[in-house]
C-alpha cells in the first residue's frame, strides 16, 4: 500500500474530495443555461442571507466541472494577409512570393496550418498556402519527439533553417514584404524543399543547437543559386543541397536576450559540370522586453548577412546582401519598425564587378529603406502601413506604399523566439 | 587480477554512488505558483524551476530557447493548462526533444486536470468572445481549496516518478496540506467581512478568488479577455463602478495600472495591485504569497 493511501486519515478530506470531484465532473452532464441562472440566483440569495463572516465552503463548489475539449482532430488555423499597394513604378523589384506586387489590391497569403502529434514518436505540421492562381505546399513535415542524445529529425517538405528569417512565415514578419536578400539568394519562396534534417541540442551550459539538413537542390523560387529551375537526377550527395547551421542563445538578463546564428548552404549549380554554389550567413537578434516590471514595450534589432559565391565558367561570382531592422512595440496595440537593406554588385575573383546571369540588370549596389506602423486590434488581427524607398544603383528609385491587413482564425499558434 | 577488479569496482562505486544518492527529480513548472507548490512537496528530493517570472503575464511568455534547454533535462513538467500556455509552451516542448514530458508522457502533468474548473463554456464560443479559454478558466491557484488537490496530484506524480523518495514526498505533501488548512482558516477569518463585496478586475483572472471569498466581480477593465480597453468601455465600467458602489479595482501587477487607477479614483474605490504569482525565484512559498495577497485585499475590502 502506498504512503499516500496510508495517510488517508490526515489528508482524507481533500483527497477524497479530489477523487469525488473529478468523478463527478466526468459524470455530470453540463447544466442548461436557465438552470445555471437559477443556481446563480439561489447562491446569490444565500450569500445575502448569510452573516458577513460566514466561512466559505470547505471545498470548491460541485456545480463546477473539470475537463476540456477532447478531440483527435489536428490544431487548425487559417491566416489571411491582404494588401492595398501603390508603386511609383510598376516595374518594381519586389522579390518575395508573398510581397504585394501590383497597384491596387493583393492577396499576399492565405495560409492553412494543421498540426498534431502522430503518435508518441512524431508530430506532423503542414502549412498550405492558397493563392488566387493555385495552391502551394509551403511545408509538410514530421518531427521526431523522442530521439536519444537530444537529437531531433525532420522529414518532408520544409523551410531550411538558414539564418533567421528564412524558416519563418509572413505573419511573424515586422514588414509586409520580405528582405530582397532572401529573394536574391534563394528565391521568392525562400529556401525550402523536400528533404531531411537532423539537429542536436548540445549538452553545453548555454543553448547551442547544431543543424544539418539535405534537400533537393532545384526550384526556381526556392534554390535559384543552386539548380534553380533545372531538373537533375540525384546520383549522390553532390547533387543535393546541404545545410549546416549553428544557433546559440544567450539570456543576457531577464529583460535582454541575444540569439546568434551561423549558416552555410552548399550545392550544385547548372552553369557547368561540377560547378557548385555556396551561401554563408550570420544572423543576430537582440531583444529587449522588460518582464520584471509591468510594460508593453518590446524592442528588437535583427541583422542578417548573406555572402554568396557561385562557380561559373572562368570565374566565381560573389555578392553580399544584408538587412537590419529595428522593431519597437511601444504600446499594447501599436508598433513601429525601420529596415535598411543592402545588396552589393556581383564581383569576381579579382574583386571587379562582373555580370550575373541570374540577375543581369544587377550591375551596381542596391539599397532599400522601409518604415512601418502596425496596429493590433487584438492578438488575432493586424493592420500595417508601410512605406519604402528602393534605390537600385542601376536605375531610378522606386517608392512603394502598402496598407495591409491580417486576420487569423482557428487554433492559437505557438510562437517561436 | 582480483585486486585490480576490486580497485576498479571501488572507483566505480565512488564515482557513481554520490550521483545516485544526490540525483534529484528535475521539475519544470510553467508558472511560479505551481513551482512554489512543487518546491514545498519536492523538498530536497527535487530541483524545481519556473519558466515564467512572477512579474510576467503568463499568457505572453517569450519562447526563449534556453527554456527548451531546461525542459530537455526535466523529469516532470507541470503546466497550468486550460490553454494558458498555448502561445508559447508547444514550441518549447517540441524543441526540448524530451520524450518523457511530451503530452501523454509520464512526466507531463497538466494541473488543470487536478481541479474542478470554472467557466467551462456550456454553449459554443468563438473569438468574438475575446481570447477565451474553451477548456475553462485557468487562473485556479487563487483558490487555496483547489491548491489542496494540486499538492496531492503533484506529490503523487513525483512519487510515481521517483519511488525511492516516496515517503518524503508524502510527508511534505501532508505538511503542506496541514499548513494550508491552518493558513486558510486565518485568511478566511481575516476576509470574512469581505463576502458580498463588489470588485472590478482587469482581466477575467479572479473568478476562483471570488468564488472562494464570496466576492462579486461586476466588471472587467478589458472589454473581453485579451482585448485592450477602449474609452467607451471604460466609461461603461466607471458608470457600473459608481452604480454598484464597487469597493476595489483588483488586478495583477503585470497589467497596466493607469486606467484602473483612474476608475478607482473617479468611483471612490480602492486600487489594489496584487502580485500575479509567488516570487518563486526569491524563495517565496505559496502560503507566504497568499498571506501577502490577503493582507492587500483586507486593507481594501474589510471595514474597520
Residue by residue, DSSP assigns B94-148 as HHHT-GGGSTTSTTEEEGGGSSPBS---SS---GGG-S--TT----GGG-HHHHH
CA–CA dist B249, A33 (Å, integer): 29
Residues A231 and A351 in one domain: yes
Nearest chain B residue to A26, by CA: B116
Predicted pLDDT at A58: 65
Backbone angles phi, psi at A62, to 5 degrees: -80, -5
Range of the domain at A153: 77-410
Residues B35 and B116 in one domain: yes
CA–CA dist A282, B64 (Å, integer): 19
Residues A275 and A391 in one domain: yes
Residue A293 sits in a domain whose CATH number is 2.40.160.10
Instruction: Give how many domains chain B has, as a whole number.
Output: 2
Q: B53–A292: do the CB atoms touch at under 8 Å? A: yes
Nearest 10 degrees: Cα torsion A239, A241, A244, A248: -170
Residues B47 and B142 in one domain: yes
Task: Tell me the angle at which helices B231-243 and B258-267 cross, rounded to the nearest 10 degrees.
Answer: 40
Strand partners, A315: A312
Residue B173 sits in a domain whose CATH number is 3.40.50.1980
Report the greatest alpha carbon distance in chain B: 92
Nearest chain B residue to A149, by CA: B97
B99 neighbourhood in chain A, CB within 8 Å: 120-121, 145-146
- Domain end among B149, B171, B186: B186
The Cα of A47 is separated from the nearest Cα of chain B by a number of Å equal to 7
Q: What is the residue whose three cell numbers read 495600472?
A: B257
CA–CA dist B160, B162 (Å, integer): 6
CA–CA dist A251, A199 (Å, integer): 21
Cell triple for A97: 512570393
Instruction: Compare CB distances from B174 to A10, A379, A411 and report the shortest one's residue.
Output: A10
Residues A233 and A151 in one domain: yes
Nearest chain B residue to A257, by CA: B64
Cell triple for B106: 509520464
CA–CA dist A334, B117 (Å, integer): 34
Closest by Cα among A291, A288, A269 to A278:
A269
Residues A203 and A84 in one domain: yes
Residues A38 and A148 in one domain: no
Is residue A258 situated within a structural domain?
yes
* Total CB pairs under 8 A between chain A and B: 219
Q: A4–B120: do the CB atoms touch at under 8 Å? A: no
Termini Cα distance of chain B: 84
Q: A30–B122: do the CB atoms touch at under 8 Å? A: yes
Is residue B220 situated within a structural domain?
yes
Predicted pLDDT at B6: 55
Is residue A160 situated within a structural domain?
yes
Is residue A56 situated within a structural domain?
no
DSSP B191-254: TGGGTT-EEEESSS--HHHHHHHT-EEEEESSSBTTBPP-HHHHHHHHHHHHHTT--EEEEETT
Measuring CA to CA, how many Å separate A99 from each of A105, A177, A183, A386, B155?
12, 5, 11, 12, 53
Interface test with A, best of B116, B127, B214, B294 (most A CBs within 10 A): B116
B166 neighbourhood in chain A, CB within 8 Å: 2-3
Residues of chain A with pLDDT under 70: 1-71
Using a cut of 0.95, tell me whether the model's pTM lies above it: no
Termini Cα distance of chain A: 46
Q: A332–B228: do the CB atoms touch at under 8 Å? A: yes
For chain B, the residue count is 304
Asked if the C-beta of B116 comes within 8 angstroms of chain A's C-beta atoms, the answer is yes
CA–CA dist A407, A413 (Å, integer): 13
Residues B165 and B53 in one domain: yes
* CB contact set of B56 (below 8 Å; sequence gap of 6+): A291, B254, B276
Residues B109 and B211 in one domain: no
Residues A113 and A14 in one domain: no
Residues B168 and B69 in one domain: yes
Nearest chain A residue to B94, by CA: A145
Q: Confirm if B150 and B141 have CB atoms less than 8 A apart.
A: yes
Q: What ipTM was reported for this prediction?
A: 0.88
- Domain end among B170, B186, B202: B186
The Cα of B16 is separated from the nearest Cα of chain A by a number of Å equal to 20
Instruction: Give how many domains chain A has, as a whole number.
Output: 2
Q: Confirm if A146 and B97 have CB atoms less than 8 A apart.
A: yes
Q: B256–A294: do the CB atoms touch at under 8 Å? A: yes
The Cα of B5 is separated from the nearest Cα of chain A by a number of Å equal to 30
Is residue B9 situated within a structural domain?
no
CA–CA dist B135, B289 (Å, integer): 27
> Which pLDDT tens digit goes with each residue over A145-193?
989 999 999 999 999 999 999 999 999 999 999 999 999 999 999 999 9
Is residue B73 situated within a structural domain?
yes
Asked if the C-beta of A11 comes within 8 angstroms of chain B's C-beta atoms, the answer is yes
Residues A165 and A126 in one domain: yes
Range of the domain at B209: 192-301
Residues A182 and A316 in one domain: yes
Nearest 10 degrees: Cα torsion A137, A138, A140, A146: 180
Q: 3-state DSSP call for residue A58?
A: coil
CA–CA dist A287, B155 (Å, integer): 38
Residues A334 and A252 in one domain: yes
- Domain end among B148, B165, B186: B186
Residues B283 and B166 in one domain: no
Helix, strand, coil % over all residues of chain A, rounded to 5: 15, 50, 40
Q: B64–A251: do the CB atoms touch at under 8 Å? A: yes
CA B28 to chain centre: 13
Q: A33–B127: do the CB atoms touch at under 8 Å? A: no
Is residue A303 situated within a structural domain?
yes
Residues B152 and B258 in one domain: no
Cell triple for B139: 487562473
CA A292 to chain centre: 26
The Cα of A130 is separated from the nearest Cα of chain B by a number of Å equal to 23
Q: B102–A379: do the CB atoms touch at under 8 Å? A: no
CA–CA dist A356, A317 (Å, integer): 7
Cell triple for A62: 460541485
CA–CA dist B171, A4 (Å, integer): 9
Residues A160 and A11 in one domain: no
Is residue A341 situated within a structural domain?
yes
Which runs of E-coded beta strand occur in A21-103? 75-87
Show pLDDT as tens, one digit a residue, over chain B (304 residues).
445 545 445 444 444 444 444 689 999 999 999 999 999 999 999 999 999 999 999 999 999 999 999 999 999 999 999 999 999 999 999 999 999 999 989 999 999 999 999 999 988 888 888 888 989 999 999 999 999 999 999 999 999 999 999 999 999 999 999 999 999 999 999 999 999 999 999 999 999 999 999 999 999 999 999 999 999 999 999 999 999 999 999 999 999 999 999 999 999 999 999 999 999 999 999 999 999 999 999 999 987 6
Is residue A406 situated within a structural domain?
yes
Is residue A189 situated within a structural domain?
yes
CA–CA dist B208, B201 (Å, integer): 12
Residues A310 and A388 in one domain: yes
For B244-259, letters b (16+ CB in 10 Å) and e give bebbbbbbbbbbbbeb
Asked if the C-beta of B230 comes within 8 angstroms of chain A's C-beta atoms, the answer is no
Residues A31 and A157 in one domain: no
Q: Confirm if A325 and A318 have CB atoms less than 8 A apart.
A: no
Is residue A69 situated within a structural domain?
no
Q: B152–A259: do the CB atoms touch at under 8 Å? A: no
Residues B134 and B221 in one domain: no
Instruction: Compare CB distances from A21 to B116, B130, B212 and report the shortest one's residue.
Output: B116
Amino acid at each position: 500500500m502506498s504512503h499516500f493511501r496510508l495517510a488517508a486519515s490526515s489528508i482524507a478530506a481533500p483527497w477524497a474530495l479530489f477523487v469525488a470531484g473529478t468523478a463527478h465532473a466526468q459524470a455530470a452532464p453540463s447544466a442548461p443555461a436557465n438552470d445555471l441562472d437559477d443556481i446563480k440566483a439561489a447562491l446569490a440569495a444565500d450569500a445575502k442571507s448569510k452573516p458577513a463572516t460566514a466561512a466559505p465552503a470547505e471545498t470548491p463548489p460541485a456545480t463546477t466541472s473539470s475537463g476540456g475539449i477532447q478531440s483527435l482532430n489536428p490544431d487548425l488555423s487559417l491566416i489571411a494577409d491582404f494588401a492595398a499597394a501603390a508603386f511609383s513604378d510598376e516595374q518594381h523589384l519586389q522579390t518575395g512570393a508573398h510581397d504585394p506586387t501590383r497597384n491596387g489590391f493583393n492577396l499576399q497569403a492565405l495560409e492553412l496550418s494543421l498540426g498534431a502529434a502522430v503518435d508518441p514518436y512524431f508530430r506532423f505540421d503542414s502549412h498550405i498556402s492558397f493563392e488566387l492562381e493555385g495552391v502551394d505546399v509551403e511545408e509538410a513535415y514530421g518531427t521526431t519527439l523522442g530521439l536519444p542524445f537530444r537529437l531531433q529529425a525532420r522529414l518532408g517538405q520544409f523551410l531550411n533553417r538558414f539564418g533567421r528569417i528564412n524558416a519563418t512565415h509572413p505573419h511573424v514578419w515586422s514588414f509586409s514584404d520580405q528582405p530582397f536578400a532572401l529573394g536574391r539568394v534563394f528565391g521568392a519562396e525562400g529556401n525550402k524543399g523536400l528533404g531531411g534534417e537532423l539537429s542536436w541540442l548540445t549538452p553545453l551550459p548555454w543553448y547551442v543547437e547544431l543543424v544539418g539538413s539535405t534537400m533537393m537542390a532545384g526550384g526556381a523560387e526556392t534554390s535559384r543559386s543552386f539548380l534553380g529551375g533545372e531538373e537533375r537526377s540525384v546520383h549522390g550527395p553532390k547533387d543535393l543541397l546541404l545545410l549546416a547551421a549553428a544557433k546559440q542563445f544567450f539570456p543576457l538578463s531577464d529583460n535582454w536576450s541575444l540569439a546568434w546564428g551561423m549558416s552555410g548552404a552548399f550545392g550544385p549549380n547548372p552553369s557547368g559540370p561540377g560547378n557548385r554554389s555556396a551561401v554563408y550567413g550570420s544572423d543576430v537578434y537582440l531583444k529587449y522586453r522588460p518582464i520584471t516590471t509591468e510594460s508593453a514595450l518590446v524592442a528588437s534589432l535583427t541583422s542578417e548577412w548573406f555572402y554568396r559565391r557561385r562557380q561559373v565558367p572562368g570565374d566565381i561570382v560573389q555578392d553580399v546582401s544584408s538587412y537590419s531592422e529595428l522593431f519597437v512595440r511601444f504600446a499594447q496595440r501599436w508598433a513601429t519598425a525601420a529596415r535598411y537593406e543592402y545588396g552589393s554588385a556581383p564581383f569576381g575573383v579579382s574583386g571587379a564587378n562582373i555580370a550575373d546571369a541570374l540577375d543581369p540588370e544587377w550591375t551596381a549596389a542596391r539599397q532599400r529603406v522601409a518604415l512601418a506602423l502596425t496596429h493590433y486590434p487584438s492578438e488575432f488581427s493586424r493592420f500595417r502601413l508601410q512605406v519604402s524607398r528602393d534605390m537600385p544603383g542601376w536605375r531610378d528609385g522606386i517608392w512603394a506604399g502598402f496598407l495591409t491587413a491580417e486576420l487569423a482564425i482557428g487554433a492559437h499558434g505557438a510562437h517561436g523566439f | 587480477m582480483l585486486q585490480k577488479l576490486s580497485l576498479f569496482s571501488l572507483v566505480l562505486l565512488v564515482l557513481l554512488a554520490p550521483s545516485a544518492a544526490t540525483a534529484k527529480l528535475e521539475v519544470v513548472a510553467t508558472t511560479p505558483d505551481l513551482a512554489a507548490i512543487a518546491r514545498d512537496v519536492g523538498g530536497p528530493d527535487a530541483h524545481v524551476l519556473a519558466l515564467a517570472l512572477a512579474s510576467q503575464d503568463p499568457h505572453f511568455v517569450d519562447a526563449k530557447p534556453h527554456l527548451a534547454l531546461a525542459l530537455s533535462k526535466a523529469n516532470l513538467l507541470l503546466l497550468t493548462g486550460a490553454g494558458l500556455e498555448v502561445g508559447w509552451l508547444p514550441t518549447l516542448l517540441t524543441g526540448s526533444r524530451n520524450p518523457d514530458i511530451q503530452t501523454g508522457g509520464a512526466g507531463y502533468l497538466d494541473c488543470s486536470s487536478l481541479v474542478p474548473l470554472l467557466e467551462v463554456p456550456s454553449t459554443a464560443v468563438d473569438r468574438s468572445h475575446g481570447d477565451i479559454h474553451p477548456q475553462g478558466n485557468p487562473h485556479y491557484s487563487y483558490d487555496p481549496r483547489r491548491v489542496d488537490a494540486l499538492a496531492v496530484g503533484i506529490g503523487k506524480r513525483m512519487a510515481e516518478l521517483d519511488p525511492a523518495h516516496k515517503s518524503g514526498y508524502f510527508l511534505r505533501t501532508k505538511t503542506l496540506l496541514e499548513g494550508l488548512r491552518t493558513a486558510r482558516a486565518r485568511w478566511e477569518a481575516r476576509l470574512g467581512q469581505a463576502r458580498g463585496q463588489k470588485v472590478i478586475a482587469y482581466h477575467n483572472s479572479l473568478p476562483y478568488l471570488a468564488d472562494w471569498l464570496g466576492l462579486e466581480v461586476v466588471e472587467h477593465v478589458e472589454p473581453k479577455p485579451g482585448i485592450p480597453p477602449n474609452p467607451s468601455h471604460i466609461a461603461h465600467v466607471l458608470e457600473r463602478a459608481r452604480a454598484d458602489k464597487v469597493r476595489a479595482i483588483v488586478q495583477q501587477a503585470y497589467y497596466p495600472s493607469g486606467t484602473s487607477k483612474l476608475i478607482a479614483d473617479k468611483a471612490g474605490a480602492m486600487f489594489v495591485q496584487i502580485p500575479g504569482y509567488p516570487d518563486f525565484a526569491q524563495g517565496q512559498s505559496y502560503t507566504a504569497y497568499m498571506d501577502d495577497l490577503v493582507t492587500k485585499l483586507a486593507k481594501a475590502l474589510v471595514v474597520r
